[in-house]
Amino acid sequence: MSIHKRDDILSSEITDENIYLGRREFFCKAAKLGFIVPGLKFGTAEAAGFLNLFSPIKPSALPDDKLTSFQNITHYNNFYEFGTSKSDPAKYAGMLKTSPWEVKVEGLVRYPRTYSIDDLFKTYPQEDRIYRLRCVEAWSMVIPWRGFSLAHLLKKADPLGNARFVEFWTLHDPQQMPGQNIPVLEWPYREGLRLDEAMHPLTILATGLYGKSLPNQDGAPVRLVIPWKYGFKSIKSIVKIRLIDHMPRTSWELAAPNEYGFYSNVNPSVNHPRWSQATERRIGEWDLRKTLLFNGYANEVASLYTGMNLRKNF
Amino acid sequence: MNVKWIKFLVFLICLLPLLRLVLLGLFDGLGPNPVSHLIHSTGVWSLVLLLVTLSITPLRRLFEVSQILRLRRMFGQYAFFYGLLHFLIYAWFDQYFEWQGIWRDIMSRPFILVGFISLFFLVPMSVTSTNRWVRRLGVRWWRRIHWLIYPSAFLAVLHFWLEVKRDIREPLIYAILLGILFLYRIGYAFLCGRTKPLLNSNQDCAGVQR
Ligand code: HEM
């Protein structure tokens, strides 16, 4: 499995952020001082897409893929609770108070429980995992999360025999989340998974990234990450996890049922009605990449969907 | 200030959005998704300039500043220029200049088709925006061709509307502005009889008396 345990992360990968920022700074300074011809800047790795233009399109997953910079992970967010522009969350997520914070686990379980964030940290050991994130808008990132498998939490809650689905809720508080004053979606944001998807070891509850606690704009204090599904399934700032016996409605599915299905597995051959899903743009790069079935995690998760028509169950 | 200077100034001002993008590109300021930034910015400027072009006539009538009619052609050409840039950036970075892929995209995605038709309508207007073409076509035909700005602007707003995922507030603003410009013309035609010809035979297409 391509789960990276804490030990697998090379420290060099983590410091990449600093190198990135350092290089950026160097070029900005140098360019401002007129030390380099601006055109030369296009030769740097970041902008190399300019030169690669007519070479074959790379797949979205390569062994030497770089982590997306901390700056970009925290300044290019879809988090409509803080505004619909990608730069809004970084500006306004400071209004969210993440402590104290409670997460309720309820519904069809033997042991319902309300966790404080401290409880979560104490009960479940945190590990680091590097995952690709593919947004439904055809861009992607590589993110070093910190968190734990949702399965651990669900096992402790002990689902009843008739539990089939898991429903997740984001905090609903327009005071702290001003975007909720605008009816772009049905608030609070809701998401759902089939129980076996939720129990899959790749599905994690994330509490941090780049080895630090989760920035608010990335879904603090705790969010879901399902790496083989489009990003909007990975619900942020969770306050409730409920086990139920029927397929829940989700916010995006309610908003546009023909565009956003319950499953929303990454699939290059099933296009969004308004744009292609065959390719994606890695944030920070200029060139396109080929999108992979289940975002490149097919070996791990394809068995969840054997015999299912992925075009119909999009 | 004489008209030549004003025209020159407006010419430079209309270049600023492009200059800004070039500088941001050179200094790594286009943000996390540079291609998207370029496509959005050029698309919005094209639309804004179309609306500016369309507001020349009402402004001229309301404020009786007939001189500004001389700027209309430049605004129109710039709208086309930014629309073309918008398309070329898409053709380059989204399609790698594969014309088959572009054609497939146009035919399979309504929002791209709508944008394409909008741009397509701008082409004959751009080509015929010279005094020579007015003479060659005659004012009647010239005006017929340039009536295409209405469907073009309408389709550009529709293109924007279809592109946004959920939050329609921004395209809505453009739709309202366009609606006002349309209503003004309908109202004018209704109150003042048939729309006064913007041109008569002894004016060139920039409204200048021959
Ligand atoms: C063949 C012609 C065209 C193509 C292929 C095209 C393509 C696109 C694409 C791909 C986007 C979305 C960019 C993204 O999601 O990152 C877009 C957005 C847009 N386009 Fe076009 N376009 C065309 C013509 C036009 C024209 C003629 C105008 C204006 C007069 C225009 C105005 C816009 C606007 C305003 C947006 C939205 C920008 C935003 O969301 O901020 N487009 N176009």
Measured in whole angstroms, how far is the alpha carbon of residue A137 from the centre of its chain? 13
- B201 or B69: whose pLDDT is higher? B69
- For residue B18, tell me if it sits in a domain: yes
- For residue B186, tell me if it sits in a domain: yes
Using a pLDDT cut of 70, give the percent of chain B over it.
Answer: 91
- For residue A50, tell me if it sits in a domain: no
Residues with CB under 6 A from ligand 1: B 36, 39-40, 43-44, 46-47, 50, 83, 86-87, 90, 112, 115-116, 118-119, 156, 159-160, 163
- For residue A263, tell me if it sits in a domain: yes
Q: How far apart are CA A167 and CA A248, in angstroms?
A: 6
Nearest to B96 among A53, A137, A185 (CB): A53
- For residue B209, tell me if it sits in a domain: no
Cβ contacts of B190 within 8 Å, gap of 6 or more: none
- Structural domain of residue B188, as residue ranges? 3-199
- CA–centroid distance, residue A153 to ligand 1 (Å): 45
- For residue A51, tell me if it sits in a domain: no
Mean pLDDT along residues A37-51: 40
- For residue B146, tell me if it sits in a domain: yes
A-B Cβ pairs (cutoff 8 Å, strict): 64
pLDDT recorded at residue A77: 96
- Structural domain of residue A120, as residue ranges? 58-305
- CA–centroid distance, residue A57 to ligand 1 (Å): 23
- The 8-class DSSP code of residue A181 comes to G
Nearest to A283 among B32, B108, B165 (CB): B32
- For residue A47, tell me if it sits in a domain: no
pLDDT recorded at residue A162: 97
- For residue B210, tell me if it sits in a domain: no
Nearest to B27 among A31, A54, A284 (CB): A31
B51 has pLDDT over 50: yes
Write down the mean pLDDT value for chain A.
Answer: 85
Q: How far apart are CA A89 and CA A82, in angstroms?
A: 5
Q: What's the gap in Å between the CA of B8 and the closest CA on chain A?
A: 28
At residue A46 the predicted structure's pLDDT band, cuts being 50, 70 and 90, is: very low
Measured in whole angstroms, how far is the alpha carbon of residue B134 from the centre of its chain? 19
- CA–centroid distance, residue B92 to ligand 1 (Å): 14
Token representation of residue A146: 């910190």
CB contact under 8 A, A139 and B36: yes
pLDDT in tens, B53-74: 999 989 988 887 878 888 999 9
Ligand 1, atom nearest to B40 Cα = 38
CB contact under 8 A, A139 and B28: no
Q: What's the gap in Å between the CA of A5 and the closest CA on chain B?
A: 28
- For residue B193, tell me if it sits in a domain: yes
Query: What is each CA distance from B69 to A18, B22, B57, B88, B207, in whole angstroms?
Result: 55, 30, 7, 30, 6
At residue A16 the predicted structure's pLDDT band, cuts being 50, 70 and 90, is: very low
- For residue B206, tell me if it sits in a domain: no
- Alpha helix (H) ranges present in chain A? 11-33, 49-52, 70-73, 88-92, 117-123, 150-157, 195-199, 251-255, 298-301
- For residue A213, tell me if it sits in a domain: yes
Q: What is the value of pTM for the model shown?
A: 0.82
User: What is the torsion angle, in degrees rounded to the nearest 10, for the CA atoms of residue B200, residue B205, residue B206 and residue B210?
Assistant: -60
Mean pLDDT along residues A52-80: 86
Q: How far apart are CA A209 and CA B209, in angstroms?
A: 68
CB contact under 8 A, A284 and B32: yes
pLDDT in tens, B74-127: 999 999 999 999 999 999 988 888 888 899 999 988 999 999 999 999 999 999
- For residue A312, tell me if it sits in a domain: no
Domains: count for chain B: 1
CB contact under 8 A, A274 and B105: no
Burial class of residue A312, CB neighbours in 10 A (0-12, 13-18, 19+): exposed
CB contact under 8 A, B28 and A41: yes
A209 has pLDDT over 90: yes
CATH at A114:
3.90.420.10
B100 touches chain A (CB under 8 A): no
Q: How far apart are CA A34 and CA B46, in angstroms?
A: 32
Query: What is each CA distance from A28 to A37, A49, A156, B38, B89, in whole angstroms?
Result: 12, 19, 51, 20, 24
- For residue A1, tell me if it sits in a domain: no
Mean pLDDT along residues A197-216: 96
Token representation of residue B174: 């453009």
Nearest to B28 among A24, A87, A256 (CB): A24
Bridge-partner residues for A209, per DSSP?
Answer: A145, A212
B197 has pLDDT over 80: no
- For residue B207, tell me if it sits in a domain: no
CB contact under 8 A, A288 and B96: yes
Tokens 């944001």 found at: A189
Cβ contacts of B104 within 8 Å, gap of 6 or more: none
ipTM more than 0.90? Answer: no
- For residue A85, tell me if it sits in a domain: yes
Q: How far apart are CA A91 and CA A104, in angstroms?
A: 28
Mean pLDDT along residues A202-227: 96
Domains: count for chain A: 1
pLDDT in tens, A147-179: 999 999 999 999 999 999 999 999 999 999 999
A18 has pLDDT over 60: no
pLDDT recorded at residue A20: 36
Which chain A residue is nearest to residue B91, measuring alpha carbons? A53
Token representation of residue A17: 């952020």
B162 touches chain A (CB under 8 A): yes
Q: Cα–Cα–Cα angle for B43, B48, B53, nearest 5°?
A: 125
At residue A271 the predicted structure's pLDDT band, cuts being 50, 70 and 90, is: confident
Ligand 1, atom nearest to B33 Cα = 16
